Amino acid sequence: MQRTAATTAKGEEILRVEAKWRDRWEADRAAFVDTKEPAGNGKYLLVMLPYPSGDRLHVGHARTYFLTDALHRFLRQTGVTVFCPMGWDAFGLPAENYAIQMGIHPRTSTLANIAAMKEQFRSWGVLYDWTKEVTTCEPEYYRWNQWFFLKLLEKGLAVRRKSAVNWCPSCETVLANEQAEGGVCERCGTAVVPRELEQWFLKITDYADRLLDGLDTLGEWPEKVVTMQRNWIGRSTGADLDFAIPSLNETVRVFTTRPDTVFGATALILAPEHALVPRLLEVNPKRAELESWVASVRSQERIVREAEGAEKDGRDTGRTAINPFTGQEVPVWLANFVIADYGTGALMAVPAHDTRDFEFAKKYGIPIVKVIEPEREEKREEFLRKKEGTGDFLRREEGEGATRGSVAAAAGAGPPPPARDLSKKSPADDAGAPVGAYTGEGFLIASGPFSGKSSSIARELIAAEAARRGIGGPRVRYRLRDWLISRQRYWGTPIPMVHCEKDGWVPVPEKDLPVVLPPDAPFTGKGGNPLEKVASFVRTTCPSCGGPARRETDTMDTFVDSSWYFLRYLDPRNDTEPFDPAVVKEWAPVDQYIGGIEHAILHLLYARFFTRILKDLGHVTFEEPFSALFNQGMITRLSPSGRVEKMSKSRGNSVSLDALIAEKGADAVRAFVLFLGPPEKDAEWSDEGISGPERFLWRVRSTVERFLATGADPQAQPAKGDTPAARVRHMTIKKVTEDFRAFSFHTAVAHLMELLNGASVLVNDAGAEAGETATTLRALVTLLHPIAPHLSEELNERMGGKKSLLMSGWPTFDPALAEMESASIAVQISGKVRAEVSVRRGSSEKEVVAAAEANPAVARWLEGKQRVKTIWVQDRLLNIVVK
RNA sequence: GCCCUGGUGGCGGAAUUGGUAGACGCGCACGUUUGAGGGGCGUGUGGAGCAAUCCGUGCCAGUUCGAGUCUGGCCCAGGGCACCA
């Protein structure tokens, strides 16, 4: 496509104006970005730390920044003091991989990327307060990560323990779960295997309940995120029960959410990783075979072992345990589906009432003993009696039954389960052989003294009984695991620990922080962590005994960096503490957090955890770091694969922002991205769509220019208050203001387009009053500023505006004028719209009925009919029901 | 399997929370301006019908004078979790 002289001139003019205003905002920062004096209505707002990846930011990234900047400018215009900082999440794996591939030091590439991104931000016209910039890979920042670590260690919240990690045998390194997606190393494609390593953990599980409770206070968070966190924490209430193994003189503790089914527990099943496994197998004649099976399950790739529909596999240990409630012997099994680090790594199998146990029992011939009935005997008879009575009762009962329990069909069972019929006892009764487990609640049978009790009551009684007998008791467990922060990586915060032969693990004293990452290390991608090969770093002396010692070479997960950076923004140069509590108290918690849904769990949970720790340490006074959260949707586009997917460079469907801005200007791109659709939803990019907002902005400009050409005073006030033009203006101010407050940027743009159409008519109308027209144009330009800041500032100046729009206030509206004077009433005959009559707003029903009757279309429908009644909605609708 | 979201013209999407469905924009059509192309400007644009009118917010019922909106059931798409005892 060839550009003509005309478009070039237009394009050049746009770019000239945008450059002019960027320079002004930058040169006169103090006038626009004043964060020194937080006012009482201080609104503190921010976005996610952008990752300084190697790629330039493209259109897919733009939404969060445009959205934030629009909100920022709007708030400032309405007089709120806003602090909108930006910083860099600079540590992490991509930079290190880049070093391995390209031979460029992570620090060099990271700092270059940061410089490039800052330049991009500048070109978009986003207002960040760069005086508060934070860069996490600098010792001035990460020394506080180390300081936090020492505090956590003191409180017993940082611990070292053995754990299975994802190991890539080819790269000889540990991978985070995200880096081992699909069970293969993201770098070399080798299958990842589990490997036991000693690792540092932060005990986030100690905070599970507080993290859960806090979720109820997050009213301004998306419900979805709150639910995701709740599921992730995964609180389950139940009971611990001890099963004795007399032949070993040991007991195995299990956790169950269904203690009411304990009389149906016909086996004890342990994870292959369970500590008792070696002893269980000690004297087994097939010991070697069993041990090799255990070893093979333990080394199995996570992805295979946990795959959907993975075959359940187990072995009988030959030992027996005693069911503590029936007193009967049950076999002790090992099975691949038992998870080592949930609960106690052991479970009681109740095949009759658990789908997984059922599947396992069927495969291995373990007895299935039913102990729960969906309905109590006498209740069922009563039910059957009533069933013959009213149909109403039947429907209600079935509804209740459906919510109470469900029949889970056995995996692979042929036909779907038959429609529920409560006259059947349970699926097991149907034809002798049970076809599935009844996992719902009901009433106990064959359960000794508990028979006849309901599930919920029996649960409590059985748990209490276990407690009384000293073999367990009520227990709450969580799905949440402790946070593994060790990374065998160079490009991260060194963990401030030293290992001494004599004293073991010794923390680096606070006065010796930071432990600085050595500038040079061999990046080969082979042989593990490059830090291990830096002798000057590794060799040290023991802080405790002064003898020779080895420094910890693991570095921290980068999520540690992002768990508290938002507080460091407030006091980034502080070198005596992570931040000044007084400054933090003034601004925090964050009023509005904006970011993608991808952080719904990890980052947001870790930040909430850290905030609680900081509160316990006395550094902050609140528990929740982010009062309000907004998740913007992704920008999608058709990719070469033929699917509409998230825009990204790797998918080959990205659109260059740099090129687009160089051609259309930042304002047009901003307006278009905001116009795409509701910001919380995904939006599909269309290359042609930008012409709408582009034309709109150019028409705003030409309309103002045409008005200025008339020589009228652009600062003039309207002569009269109540005119149709004034009403349109007030209405638009109202709508746009409400839209911005509701993050409804796309409708704000639409309403401004309508206002332009009105303004354009005024400018073309020789009879229009100049003050009216000028005031409408000034309102348009002011309201437009959050969306198209450069153009609006330029037009404001050309219309004689003395101050930047950032400082000159937001237009107000008179509610009485923010609606049209006449109301258009829909006239319905028997609920169908037959005509529309225009009346003065506030007209009475009588007046409107008269007006409607005068309308020929209405008259025709009323003719020969009898009026039954009339429904009247003020200023809106008249419905005459006839027969 | 469980838990969320969502389903409205050719397309992106509006709809004051039960009151005129389709704002605004894209696309398309016609007209106009221009030497031409691009661009600009104007008009029209849910479907059917010459018209009166009828039909239309995933499907089926229901409540109501009136349902995109509320209730029950179902279908489809997207997302999250998933052998968590």
- ipTM metric: 0.94
Q: Is the pLDDT assigned to residue A21 strictly greater than 80?
A: yes
What Cα–Cα distance (Å) separates residue A3 from each residue in A60, A187, A439, A469? 26, 43, 69, 87
Percent of chain A with pLDDT strictly greater than 90: 54
The model's pLDDT over A667-709, given as tens digits with 9 standing for 90+, comes to 999 999 999 999 999 888 888 889 999 999 999 999 999 999 9
Q: What is the mean pLDDT of residues A9-29?
A: 88
pLDDT of residue A34: 54
pLDDT of residue A146: 98
Q: Is the pLDDT assigned to residue A541 strictly greater than 70?
A: yes
The model's pLDDT over A150-188, given as tens digits with 9 standing for 90+, comes to 999 999 999 999 887 777 777 777 776 666 666 667 667
Q: What is the largest CA-CA distance in chain A?
A: 110
Confidence band of A412 (pLDDT split at 50, 70, 90): very low
- The distance (Å) linking the CA of A490 with the C1' of B29 is 63
On whether the CB atoms of residues A143 and A513 are closer than 8 A, the answer is yes
The crossing angle, in degrees rounded to 10, of helices A666-675 and A745-764 is 120
The crossing angle, in degrees rounded to 10, of helices A770-784 and A789-798 is 150
Q: Is the pLDDT assigned to residue A125 strictly greater than 70?
A: yes
Q: What is the mean pLDDT of residues A141-148?
A: 97
Q: What is the mean pLDDT of residues A218-239?
A: 89
In this predicted structure, which of A248-262, A407-421, A555-569, A578-592 has the lowest mean pLDDT?
A: A407-421
Q: A464: which residues sit within 8 A by CB, 6+ positions away?
A: A473, A474
Q: Is the pLDDT assigned to residue A767 strictly greater than 90?
A: no
Q: A474: which residues sit within 8 A by CB, 6+ positions away?
A: A237, A238, A239, A460, A463, A464, A467
pLDDT of residue A427: 41
pLDDT of residue A178: 61
**Distance separating alpha carbons of residues A261 and A325, to the nearest angstrom:** 10
The model's pLDDT over A501-512, given as tens digits with 9 standing for 90+, comes to 999 999 999 999
pLDDT of residue A32: 62
The model's pLDDT over A91-110, given as tens digits with 9 standing for 90+, comes to 987 888 888 888 899 999 99
Q: Which two tokens stand for residue A645?
A: 């997917």
In this predicted structure, which of A140-144, A418-422, A577-581, A755-759 has the lowest mean pLDDT?
A: A418-422
- The distance (Å) linking the CA of A596 with the C1' of B43 is 43
What Cα–Cα distance (Å) separates residue A811 from each residue in A1, A41, A608, A735, A867? 42, 19, 38, 12, 49
The label of the residue with tokens 């940061």 reads A114
What Cα–Cα distance (Å) separates residue A461 from each residue in A51, A326, A565, A777? 54, 15, 48, 75
Choice between A354 and A174, residue whose per-residue pLDDT is larger: A354
Confidence band of A615 (pLDDT split at 50, 70, 90): very high
pLDDT of residue A407: 33
The model's pLDDT over A818-837, given as tens digits with 9 standing for 90+, comes to 887 778 888 888 888 888 88
Confidence band of A399 (pLDDT split at 50, 70, 90): very low
Confidence band of A50 (pLDDT split at 50, 70, 90): confident
Q: What is the mean pLDDT of residues A331-356?
A: 92
- The average confidence (pLDDT) of chain A is 85
- AA identity, residue A644: V
Q: What is the mean pLDDT of residues A760-783?
A: 92
Asked whether residue A7's C-beta has any atom of DNA/RNA strand B within 7 A, the reply is yes
pLDDT of residue A646: 85
Q: Which two tokens stand for residue A19?
A: 């450059």
Q: What is the mean pLDDT of residues A624-640?
A: 89
Asked whether residue A862's C-beta has any atom of DNA/RNA strand B within 7 A, the reply is no
Nucleotides of B under 7 A from a protein CB: 2-5, 11-16, 19-21, 23-27, 37-42, 53-54, 65-67, 73, 79-85
Choice between A112 and A407, residue whose per-residue pLDDT is larger: A112
In this predicted structure, which of A253-262, A403-412, A720-729 has the lowest mean pLDDT?
A: A403-412
- What phi, psi does A561 have (nearest 5°)? -55, -45
Q: Is the pLDDT assigned to residue A573 strictly greater than 60?
A: yes
Q: Look up the protein residue whose alpha carbon has the minimum distance to the C1' of B24.
A: A750
Closest-lying nucleotide for A819 based on CA to C1':
B16
Confidence band of A49 (pLDDT split at 50, 70, 90): confident
The model's pLDDT over A745-763, given as tens digits with 9 standing for 90+, comes to 999 999 999 999 999 999 9
- The distance (Å) linking the CA of A823 with the C1' of B65 is 21
Residues 809-828 of A with CB under 7 A from strand B: 824-826, 828
Q: Is the pLDDT assigned to residue A395 strictly greater than 70?
A: no
Q: Look up the protein residue whose alpha carbon has the minimum distance to the C1' of B38.
A: A4
Q: Look up the protein residue whose alpha carbon has the minimum distance to the C1' of B5.
A: A224
**Distance separating alpha carbons of residues A850 and A846, to the nearest angstrom:** 6
Q: A183: which residues sit within 8 A by CB, 6+ positions away?
A: A191, A192, A301, A302, A303, A304
Q: What is the mean pLDDT of residues A228-246?
A: 92
Q: Which two tokens stand for residue A602?
A: 């990890």
How many Cα atoms occupy the beta-carbon half-sphere of A638 within 13 Å? Answer: 3
Q: Which two tokens stand for residue A154?
A: 């003191």
Asked whether residue A223's C-beta has any atom of DNA/RNA strand B within 7 A, the reply is yes
Q: What is the mean pLDDT of residues A118-140?
A: 92
**Cβ-count burial of A148 within 10 angstroms (0-12 exposed, 13-18 middle, 19+ buried)?**
buried
The model's pLDDT over A428-449, given as tens digits with 9 standing for 90+, comes to 443 345 667 888 888 999 999 9
Choice between A302 and A663, residue whose per-residue pLDDT is larger: A663
Confidence band of A853 (pLDDT split at 50, 70, 90): confident
**Distance separating alpha carbons of residues A523 and A511, to the nearest angstrom:** 31
Confidence band of A386 (pLDDT split at 50, 70, 90): very low
Asked whether residue A601's C-beta has any atom of DNA/RNA strand B within 7 A, the reply is yes
Asked whether residue A420's C-beta has any atom of DNA/RNA strand B within 7 A, the reply is no
Q: Look up the protein residue whose alpha carbon has the minimum distance to the C1' of B11.
A: A686
pLDDT of residue A495: 98
Q: Is the pLDDT assigned to residue A46 strictly greater than 50?
A: yes
Residues 753-772 of A with CB under 7 A from strand B: 753-754, 757, 760
Asked whether residue A338's C-beta has any atom of DNA/RNA strand B within 7 A, the reply is yes
